[in-house]
Structure 1
Amino acid sequence: MAKIAPLSGFPEWLPAGRIVEQQVLDTLRETFELHAFSSIETRAVEPVDRLLSKGETSKEIYLLHRLQAGAGQDKDELGLHFDLTVPLARYVLENAGHLDFPFRRYQIQKVWRGERPQDGRFREFIQADVDVVGQDTLAFHHEIELPLVMVDALSKLPIPRVTIHASNRKVAQGFYEAIGLTDVEQTLRIVDKLDKVGPAVVTELLERDVQATPDQARLTLELAQITSSDASFADKIASFDLHSQLLDEGLEELVALVEGANALIPGSVVADLKIARGLDYYTGSVYESVMEGHEDLGSVCSGGRYDSLVSDGKRTFPGVGLSIGVSRILARIIGKNVVAPTRKVPTVVLVAVNDETERAHAEKTAFALRKRGIATEVSPTSAKFGKQIKYADRRGIPFVWFSTDDGEQVKDIRSGEQTAVDMDTWQPAEADMRPRLEAGEQ
């Protein structure tokens, strides 16, 4: 038989890893709903022209074609969505008459990008988004609220601490215009590469691609290197003695964001003026984040304010949202054994089979336990009890159930303690009812 070669960029977890994934997703769902966000799911495909209309490049899109389609049969060119924001825009437009605004939605789904797979980057992966979308207007306070939702969600995951780094597009745009740079979008894209390529390359790109003078490039880098956990960044920017209405407005918003967020969750948001976000549709606050000790992984949660992404020509639907790269986080914590489940199966009890003539009794016992919410497996063989216990131990199943001449008994194979029990009342400890996540051995 020919060896099956794995497809890179399409992560698949072993059962233990899948337990980690499911608990992470469950935690995110529960937290988003605690913050009053409703769940939606959108289709996997969108028209390619819509996908291309939001500043993305065609190389990121997987096209969808039928193998047997004849010429001209597939009139609409479709592609798999590469994020959940573009589908949200279309969803809001199609359903605006049925939605209550501001519309608070969360969405946890797979997306696809035609990128070169590498550490933390996949061609198929899960994102978890939260957005608030308004009709015609959206209050600024949501730009403070949304990063705090993500800080709350991420703090409940079994991962290192995540801090949100924030900036404001108005600050960057106003600053660039004040120093005489006219191609703001290209400048933002170049600055967005700072962590990847370093100051020297960014300077070279600014001078080459936006015709920045050495002085303009220097000032652009000085702005990008400003970080602060409080509002002191505003004084540093004021020291440049540059002024514009857009710059002043952006500074006021960024100060309000940093002070407002940290008043509610201290240390949750840091002002970081190099945060640019390369996508064209962001217009206000922008966010990125990294896991402490895993900065090499890049941003694990990002997003921003957008005012013109969603419009039908008559109405606009401004919004603000953030997205967690769930698969990026999982690949790191599973691959580096940052966390591990206490067992690799959901099973709490293995019911031993004395011999095959008694299997029906074992199955009856299992059904009785399952009715009370206890995950139960019946031993696949009636081998010697020692082998059945080893079977349970390999899977991390904590209890083995025996039917004996003296009645029903349960053995905790971790301690070796075996006690008589009543099938209708026995209950394992709450901590044993499902696998728990704990720090792995790195």
Structure 2
Amino acid sequence: MSRVTPLSGFPEWSPAERVVEASLISTLREVFALHGFAEIETRAVEPVARLAGDSDAAKEIYALTRLAAQEGADARLGLHFDLTVPFARYVEEFQSKLAFPFRRYQIQKVWRGERPQEGRYREFYQADIDVVGRDVLPAHIEAEVAVVMARALAALPIPKATMHINNRRLVEGFYRSVGIEDVAGALRSVDKFDKIGADGVRKELGEKGVSETAQDAVLELAKIHSRDTSFVNAIEDLWETTFTTGDEAAEKVFAEGIAELAALVSAVNAAVPGTAVADLRIARGLDYYTGAVYETVLEGHEDLGSICSGGRYDSLVAGGGFPGVGMSIGVSRLVSRVLGAGLASATRAVPSAVLVAVTSEDDRRASDEIADALRARGIPAEVAPSAAKFGKQIQHAERRGIPFVWFPETGEVKDIRSGVQVPADVRNWEPPAEDRWPRTVRA
């Protein structure tokens, strides 16, 4: 037999670890549904041309050569590397059947061809929420989506999440006012701030033809950061002291962006206090963002990078007409950190709350009936694999992590953690609520 060769970038969880992952996903589903988001699922496969678009994303796509051959010589198909592109196709394809604004959430695996490292996988779960309108989408939806995500993160067994928020209209208006024509290119450079630092950003801007005066202005804007609306005064002061082109259209967009960002930060902090931070360094390098942009980090775990990001876009579908706002959580990244840092753990690895002992193999039927009676009442149970001595059956329950052992012959149930053994009736006995099913508990 050949040796098993591990594959990097494809997480595999033990039963106890899977309990934690499933708990996180279940919590996200519950919070999203409580806020009126409906769940959808899209196919895992899309045409490569749709996935890549005009970007260089083709290098991240895992191609499916056999399926492509079955579908036809011209078909180039690949596994989706995020949930946004499939969602755009879904809206385009089923628009006549959707009620707008369409509120959806989606939790699925995606596949991305990147170098595996801590918290980054080739196969991972992603959780997205989006609200998409038909032609128009009110600005308050930007705050609503951020609030839902903030509440979802607060419900997880993770440290406090801080949501850094900026507004692309504000930034675009400011950049144009200082003479920057390639706004998208400048944003892509600023988006690398954490990786290359201020000097690196300045160097890239210079290579793109941005003047030194404009470089100074861009970097000064990127320094502005506040947990309330005091950032407005700082931005307006910078505006007054910065040489501008006198572009009235840019000034109008800039002013509207400031107002939108102030309203957004206030709304999020009113709903989930201390969550939102106005951070003028957040750029989100993707060109399709047009309003609010979000990046979220965990306090004390900033090395993990952004664990939830997104923003406002004017058109989900090529050709326009479907503005929206969405955010995405890297679920597997969170699970990896939760487990690796010991932030939470499962109360037990198996679902069974009760092990029904077997007095003898001739009496196994009686044990099976007790287990079935417990299951009928929603109590997970299993029957001992053999009619060994009761001490060995109790040891089996301990190894499995099962808290209770039922003895059919005496009609008693034992909590093997405390040693307490009491008479029990299968028709009405209940385990403590916290023991009925495995749970995830914070460290």
**TM-score of the superposed pair, with normalisation by structure 2:** 0.95
Could you tell me which of 367, 391, 395 is aligned with 1:390? 395
- Identical aligned residues as a percent: 56
CA distance in 1, matches of 2:58, 2:67: 21
CA distance in 2, matches of 1:299, 1:436: 27
Q: Which residue of 2 aligns with 1:269?
A: 276
Deviations, residues 151-173 of structure 1 (Å, cap 9, x unaligned): 11111111111121100111111
Contact 2:104 2:130 in 1 (8 A): yes
CA distance in 1, matches of 2:196, 2:396: 52
Q: 1:42 to 1:67 in 2, by over 3 A?
A: closer
Q: Which residue of 1 aligns with 2:317?
A: 310
Report the residue type matching 2:8 in the other structure.
S
CA distance in 2, matches of 1:197, 1:357: 73
Q: Which residue of 2 aligns with 1:90?
A: 89
How far is the alpha carbon of 1:93 from its aligned partner? 1.1
Q: Which residue of 2 aligns with 1:349?
A: 354
Contact 2:68 2:76 in 1 (8 A): no
Contact 1:56 1:279 in 2 (8 A): no
**Aligned with 2:367: secondary structure?**
helix
Could you tell me which of 314, 319, 325 is aligned with 1:320? 325
Q: Which residue of 2 aligns with 1:370?
A: 375
Report the residue type matching 2:44 in the other structure.
A
CA distance in 2, matches of 1:157, 1:114: 28
Contact 1:307 1:319 in 2 (8 A): yes
CA distance in 2, matches of 1:221, 1:10: 39
1:10-409 alignment runs, 5 A limit: 10-53=10-53, 55-66=55-66, 69=69, 73-208=72-207, 210-240=208-238, 241=240, 242=244, 244-311=251-318, 313=319, 316-404=321-409, 407-409=410-412
* Greater mean deviation of Cα atoms: 382-391 or 51-60: 51-60
**Aligned with 1:284: secondary structure?**
strand
**Aligned with 1:239: secondary structure?**
helix
Deviations, residues 20-42 of structure 1 (Å, cap 9, x unaligned): 01111111111101000111001
How far is the alpha carbon of 1:137 from its aligned partner? 0.4
**Aligned with 1:283: secondary structure?**
strand
Q: Which runs of 5+ in 2 are unaligned?
A: 245-249
Contact 1:10 1:122 in 2 (8 A): yes
CA distance in 2, matches of 1:55, 1:69: 25
CA distance in 1, matches of 2:439, 2:214: 54
Q: 1:67 to 1:230 in 2, by over 3 A?
A: closer
* Greater mean deviation of Cα atoms: 250-259 or 142-151: 250-259
How far is the alpha carbon of 1:67 from its aligned partner? 7.5
Q: 1:20 to 1:373 in 2, by over 3 A?
A: same
CA distance in 1, matches of 2:433, 2:45: 42
**Aligned with 1:303: secondary structure?**
strand
Contact 1:131 1:146 in 2 (8 A): yes
Aligned length: 434
Are 2:424 and 1:426 aligned?
no
Report the residue type matching 1:289 in the other structure.
T
CA distance in 1, matches of 2:17, 2:93: 37
**Aligned with 1:130: secondary structure?**
strand
> Hey, which of these two has a bigger chunk of helix by percent?
2
* Greater mean deviation of Cα atoms: 28-37 or 266-275: 266-275
Q: CA RMSD in A?
A: 1.6
Deviations, residues 57-79 of structure 1 (Å, cap 9, x unaligned): 21111111107948x93322112
CA distance in 2, matches of 1:305, 1:68: 34
How far is the alpha carbon of 1:56 from its aligned partner? 4.9
Contact 2:368 2:383 in 1 (8 A): yes
Q: Which runs of 5+ in 1 are unaligned?
A: none
* Greater mean deviation of Cα atoms: 85-94 or 243-252: 243-252
Q: 1:76 to 1:433 in 2, by over 3 A?
A: same
Contact 2:133 2:322 in 1 (8 A): yes
How far is the alpha carbon of 1:198 from its aligned partner? 1.8
Report the residue type matching 1:439 in the other structure.
R
Contact 1:55 1:279 in 2 (8 A): no
How far is the alpha carbon of 1:225 from its aligned partner? 1.7
**Aligned with 2:411: secondary structure?**
strand
* Greater mean deviation of Cα atoms: 110-119 or 189-198: 189-198
**Aligned with 1:302: secondary structure?**
strand
CA distance in 2, matches of 1:192, 1:85: 20
Contact 2:169 2:291 in 1 (8 A): yes
Report the residue type matching 2:254 in the other structure.
L
How far is the alpha carbon of 1:336 from its aligned partner? 2.0
Deviations, residues 208-241 of structure 1 (Å, cap 9, x unaligned): 2x12233322221221121111111111111122
